[in-house]
């Protein structure tokens, strides 16, 4: 199952260090410069990248209202388990990225819902299903 972790960051060694980060892979792949959780949706792993983007954008908006004297970006990326500041992008670019990723996520063969960590296989060459209910329907 794919995950995206949303956090506020203060990157070290970059010109505009304040970023709301969307880290692909979840918490274990977030950068280490995370700020404490202050806004709703921070410190949460999302299974839908579109929801992660919308949450990150709303966090950035609230943060800008609280501290209008700093530049705050929103960025998505993958650290690979290392430290890697992400480049901020526009809301339009982030939404397009999330939509492309969402369309590629694995889905249940029977109902089309996103697959979670719990999956049902009906044999080596059979499709992946999301629940015992879908497995029964598929075999009916």
pLDDT tens for each residue of 13-28: 899 999 999 999 999 9
Coil, helix or strand for 114?
Answer: strand
Task: Compute the distance between CA of residue 73 and CA of residue 86 in angstroms, rounded to an integer.
Answer: 10
Output DSSP code: residue 41: T
**pLDDT of amino acid 54:** 98
Residues 71, 89 within the same domain = yes
Residues 11, 71 within the same domain = yes
* Residue 78 near residue 21 (C-beta atoms within 8 A): no
* Residue 71 near residue 36 (C-beta atoms within 8 A): no
pTM reported for the whole predicted model: 0.85
Q: Give me the sheet containing 18-24, strands edge to edge.
A: 44-46, 4-10, 18-24, 72-77
CB neighbour list of residue 33: distance below 8 Å, 6 or more residues apart: 9, 10, 11, 12, 17, 83
Residues 8, 66 within the same domain = yes
For 28-45, how does the pLDDT look when each residue is reduced to its tens digit (9 = 90+)? 999 999 999 999 999 999
Residues 12, 63 within the same domain = yes
Residues 36, 60 within the same domain = yes
Q: Which domain holds residue 51?
A: 4-104
């Amino acid at each position: 199952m794919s995950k995206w972790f949303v956090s506020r960051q203060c990157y070290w060694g970059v010109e505009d260090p304040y970023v709301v980060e969307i880290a692909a892979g979840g918490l274990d792949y977030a950068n280490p410069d995370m700020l404490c959780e202050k806004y709703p949706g921070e410190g949460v792993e999302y299974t839908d990248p579109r929801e992660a983007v919308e949450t990150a954008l709303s966090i950035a908006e609230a943060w800008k209202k609280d501290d209008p004297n700093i530049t705050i970006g929103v960025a998505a990326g993958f650290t690979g388990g290392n430290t890697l500041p992400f480049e901020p992008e526009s809301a339009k670019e982030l939404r397009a990225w999330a939509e492309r990723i969402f369309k590629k996520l694995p889905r249940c063969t029977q109902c089309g819902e996103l697959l979670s960590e719990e999956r049902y296989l009906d044999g080596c060459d059979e499709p992946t299903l999301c629940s015992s209910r879908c497995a029964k329907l598929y075999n009916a």
